[in-house]
Structure 1
């Protein structure tokens, strides 16, 4: 049951031709608007504390000219580091003087990513946005289409995408080192979120355990709570929401481990196997909590054949869930990992390392010569693309599809049953509950995309 038709104006205007834009168009270098390649970019930063501070430091070889944060403590610290930058608390005001900057870094909380990113794209600014790209499926499609129209350099903050290890795994999989891949297992041991019992919480060693309703607490004096909420309906401040990463477990503001770490871990098989939209998604876990994402759950995606790829099953495990091969001791018990299962062997990997299995079979194996470019850094790739260099590899076209797929895992979990997904019409069916409230949301008055 349930049927979603995307109704945002920025998607409706797009034709079917846009949905099949050529790879050549997507990889074209961004227009430099007359800038010399040796000039420094003028960069605006939205979300200046935490992850935003680290992102700023990664591009401070350029000119940081504008800073925005709803937390005045973070804003003051950033202004001290970049004394010449204009400061704002409301990012909407940042764009009132958009002629001052060429590029924008978005490091806000998940629920405001799209709201900070969309105006930047519509103004023709290059954009780097933290993961996950958006809060839900509908927003991911809106941003992906807007990025196509803008023709600028974009990058989602999936830093491992730039690692030599990830790139080598992609080369091994695509060159057929383990034959045709028919199944993939991806697991992460982080178990933050809803635990059905206190014993499960203890077993998971969750450092952010909430077993009841969120507390109601005084708003910190340096925080603009109304702006922090942004498009979310008004609700009292709680120390259970703020500061990060507490907020990411709450459905109002984020989507838990599935969308957060899924952006990093599912990224590798998504890239190596050139995946796009899953056909069906089925999830299992504890009874969904109305407010909190689960600490432990499992999602199985079915992908149809495409190109050189055979039909594929990808299974995600988080928290206490693990693959059967892992439980039986048939593979090394890494706490987090990817397992690619092919016709001629397996490949086990994590962020930093990988191994071909069974190891005795691959003792003398010589892989292909590297064919993917190696990266100086994820941020530098974006800066180079902004200045007319090669297109980034985690651009919003790619990252938008990855984000949609990850969100669909949560939709299947919350709606129940087997979700059948039609990506062209953006319609979902087959679930026990209406999936539409999980695919898109109603925004608070004054906030629209």
Structure 2
């Protein structure tokens, strides 16, 4: 992408077929198992009774108080590709659509549209996220698998995931020679963290990078839950056109779990 093989990238589609959403709560209140300290597990979230099978194992991702649906679970994994390749930071606009908003539960499918401004010699770019029952079967005229990223440029298109890439139109790129690899191979999450603690060197996905990525991902859930687009002011962490977003951008912590 950065070599300019497909020209200026103006649009990106990112999709994940996983569906960390829910339409109906199940289970009955019961005492938590002896191996679980329910109060500590709840942490800053509002107090509620334990319900066997509702949040464990892994099901907490489906609930706003603990997770952020499929977008919150998988967005940082798959949007990482365009964020890195296109040097994205903070969107200036975000809107989302899905099923009717539930106050507690994430949807089974979501579509989110972001607009990013120009960056250096890179033009402004639109990024569209799709998940769950709203994933596309075809993007920009090309059949696609259940998960992936499609970069759309002025001179071509590129599909990619974490194990492969393919350039379109195929005949135009039949003799394409990729540039030399420029990203150092990671020594592993844990080893990077330990090395950073010892010598102060930055990790591959340090907070400066991952913070902006995570912020962008979560803005999609805010736009969906408020039902209104966000004109995002990253410097002040606010959307001037959507005051309802303030209640979701920050929140009150349960007594005893306040941040001081």
Q: TM-score range by the shorter chain?
A: over 0.9
Query: Where does 1:44-83 land on structure 2 (aligned, <5 Å)?
Result: none
What is the match of residue 2 of structure 2? 174
Does the CA contact (< 8 Å) of 1:412 and 1:419 recur in 2?
A: yes
Q: Report the RMSD for the aligned CA atoms in angstroms.
A: 1.8
**Aligned-pair CA distance for 1:295:** 1.4
Does the CA contact (< 8 Å) of 1:279 and 1:420 recur in 2?
A: yes
1:255 partnered with 2:74: no
Distance 2:136 2:35 in 1: 45
* Count of aligned pairs: 259
Distance 1:257 1:440 in 2: 21
- Which of 114, 127, 144 in structure 2 is aligned with 1:314? 127
- Which of 136, 146, 152 in structure 2 is aligned with 1:335? 146
1:386 partnered with 2:214: no
**Cα-to-partner distance string for 1:95-147 (whole Å, 9 max, x where unaligned):** xxxxxxxxxxxxxxxxxxxxxxxxxxxxxxxxxxxxxxxxxxxxxxxxxxxxx
- Which of 253, 256, 260 in structure 2 is aligned with 1:446? 256
1:186 partnered with 2:44: no
Does the CA contact (< 8 Å) of 2:137 and 2:143 recur in 1?
A: no
Distance 1:320 1:214 in 2: 24
**Cα-to-partner distance string for 1:176-209 (whole Å, 9 max, x where unaligned):** 11111000000000112134xxxxxxxxxxxxxx
- Which of 233, 246, 260 in structure 2 is aligned with 1:436? 246
**Aligned-pair CA distance for 1:425:** 1.4
**Aligned-pair CA distance for 1:371:** 1.8
What is the match of residue 426 of structure 1? 237
Distance 1:254 1:260 in 2: 8
What is the match of residue 131 of structure 1? none
What is the match of residue 234 of structure 1? 47
Distance 2:98 2:157 in 1: 27
The runs of 5 or more residues in structure 1 that have no matched partner are: 1-172, 196-210
What secondary structure is seen at the aligned counterpart in 2 of 1:361? coil
The runs of 5 or more residues in structure 2 that have no matched partner are: none
Distance 1:252 1:389 in 2: 34
Distance 1:220 1:307 in 2: 55
Distance 1:408 1:417 in 2: 11
Structure number with larger C-alpha Rg: 1
**Aligned-pair CA distance for 1:323:** 3.9
**Aligned-pair CA distance for 1:407:** 0.5
**Aligned-pair CA distance for 1:438:** 1.3
What is the match of residue 28 of structure 2? 215
Distance 1:183 1:392 in 2: 29
Distance 1:242 1:427 in 2: 31
Task: Please identify which structure carries the higher helix content.
Answer: 1
What is the match of residue 162 of structure 2? 351
1:298 partnered with 2:111: yes
Distance 1:406 1:241 in 2: 25
**Aligned-pair CA distance for 1:441:** 1.1
Distance 2:239 2:82 in 1: 24
Using the size of structure 1 for normalisation, the TM-score is 0.55
- Which of 178, 183, 186 in structure 2 is aligned with 1:367? 178
**Aligned-pair CA distance for 1:390:** 4.2
What is the match of residue 117 of structure 1? none
What is the match of residue 410 of structure 1? 221
